[in-house]
Amino acid sequence: MGWYVSSQDKSNFVACLSVAALALPGLMQTALAGRVEETYNADFQYGHYSESSSRIDVNTYEGALSAPIGKSMTASVSLVRDIVTGASPKHNELDSQGSIKQIVSGASKKALSSECGRSICDSRDGITPSVTYFFDNGSINLNGGFSRENDYTSRYVGTTISKEFNKKLTTANFGVSLAFDEINPTDRPALKGSKTSQQYLLGVSQVINKDTLLLSNVTFAHNTGYMSDPYKLVFFYDNGMFVDFRPDTRPREKFQFAWLTQYVRHFGDLNDAALHIDYRFSTDSWGVNAHTAELSWHQPVGDGWQIAPRVRYYSQDQADFYQEVGTDLQAKYYSSDYRLAGFGAVSAGLHVSKEIAGLTPLTHLKFQVGGEYYNHSASYQLGGNNAGDFADFSYYLITGSFNLRF
């Protein structure tokens, strides 16, 4: 795998996307527990991400292949390349009126002379192999992953065990994953570090009746190591006067607990439409409690076409050590990262698919396109927030994909 990089100030955004590919085998596994995949599958997806104020733009290309091995195994591999350009917030500061301003990395001369003319020009390559063995009432999946970019390398291994019982109406899932990440920040060798993450999943999915499914998962994660953002700073003020700036400094340990419930309901009278409702509560030892709710309606409209509108709401409160600007030089931990602030986000999207079955020699072909608009605002936080709008932003996503089964 090759990669090129020419970046001055870059965020960890690319690294974040790596998990997108890594998580896929697990998701598919959950959906297919106990069912042997008897066909070859090929998937390709193009995705585009664009943030407001000309901040980050990402183009992502992903390909996945899966194949049966004998009568009881399926092997798959996924490859992904992300190309990222743009700029990201570095710190907050006070202006002459005492109002908070968010400072973005993209304005320097150094940035404008970079390869792509922006402060961030980067790409990432990742690979994710996976094997699933199916037995009479369940399955075992083993997966791994490797992803690399200029300043971030990630390796992970994981397993998911699914067991069906109660006449296959109930499926229990147990998953473990371990990740080992190394960060080597561009132009900041002193901030080199590593991080270890472990996550455990316990879940149950239940057939409630012939039209209804319910899934409930809990996950527990423990992360240790370098979790600060090496490209972010905190500016400190005393009575409105600038006194110092320091690198973003966070605890080296984090526990995180999440509980997810998914409800899926079929409506036979409405041309086999399906309603999906997801709710997730998440809490961590840094003091961030978050609620995520999503609702989507999947409506077949004939001739293999399907339209699925969706809405999502997210709200989190701030981390214990978050400060809009620094006020306490004695504090052990401090961060002005907008992702650790209190805020809410509303998004809406549409997904359209067209399925063509019975093609020879292709047995199945499916095209899908999707779009989503996401709006982040401090004022959307559950229970209110008077932080002001200096960190508000929005983004949109576009995806296009096809799936071939033969």
Partner 1 sequence: MKAYYAILLITTVVLTGCTEVLPRQRGALALPQMALTPDPLEFGFRQHTAFSKEAAGGGYGGGGGGCGCN
CB of 77 to partner 1, least distance (A): 14
Alpha-carbon distance of 248 to 320, in angstroms, equals: 14
CB of 335 to partner 1, least distance (A): 8
Pick the closer one to partner 1 by CB: 45 or 237.
45
Terminal Cα distance for the chain, rounded: 28
Pick the closer one to partner 1 by CB: 94 or 207.
207
Pick the closer one to partner 1 by CB: 174 or 242.
174
Q: How many CA atoms lie within 13 A of 226 on its CB side?
A: 17
For residue 275, the SS3 value is strand
Pick the closer one to partner 1 by CB: 118 or 254.
254
CA angle 137, 142, 147 (to 5 degrees): 150
CB of 99 to partner 1, least distance (A): 24
Pick the closer one to partner 1 by CB: 237 or 313.
313
Pick the closer one to partner 1 by CB: 69 or 204.
204
Residue 404, phi-psi category: left (phi > 0), alpha (psi -120 to 50), beta (remainder): beta
Alpha-carbon distance of 207 to 265, in angstroms, equals: 10
Task: Give residues with Cβ within 8 angstroms of 106, minimum separation 6.
Answer: 54, 55, 86, 87, 118, 119
The amino acid occupying position 360 is T
Alpha-carbon distance of 154 to 12, in angstroms, equals: 12
Q: What DSSP element (H or E) covers 112? A: helix 109-112
Q: What number of helices (H) and strands (E) belong to the chain?
A: 3, 20
Pick the closer one to partner 1 by CB: 116 or 397.
397
CB of 148 to partner 1, least distance (A): 10
Whether the Cβ atoms of residue 343 and residue 376 lie closer than 8 Å to each other:
yes
Alpha-carbon distance of 289 to 223, in angstroms, equals: 17
CA dihedral for 404, 27, 311, 318, sign (positive or negative): negative
Alpha-carbon distance of 401 to 63, in angstroms, equals: 10
CB of 315 to partner 1, least distance (A): 9
CB of 93 to partner 1, least distance (A): 21
Pick the closer one to partner 1 by CB: 25 or 326.
25
CB of 163 to partner 1, least distance (A): 14
Pick the closer one to partner 1 by CB: 83 or 94.
83
Whether the Cβ atoms of residue 214 and residue 260 lie closer than 8 Å to each other:
no
CB of 182 to partner 1, least distance (A): 9
For residue 46, the SS3 value is strand
CB of 373 to partner 1, least distance (A): 12
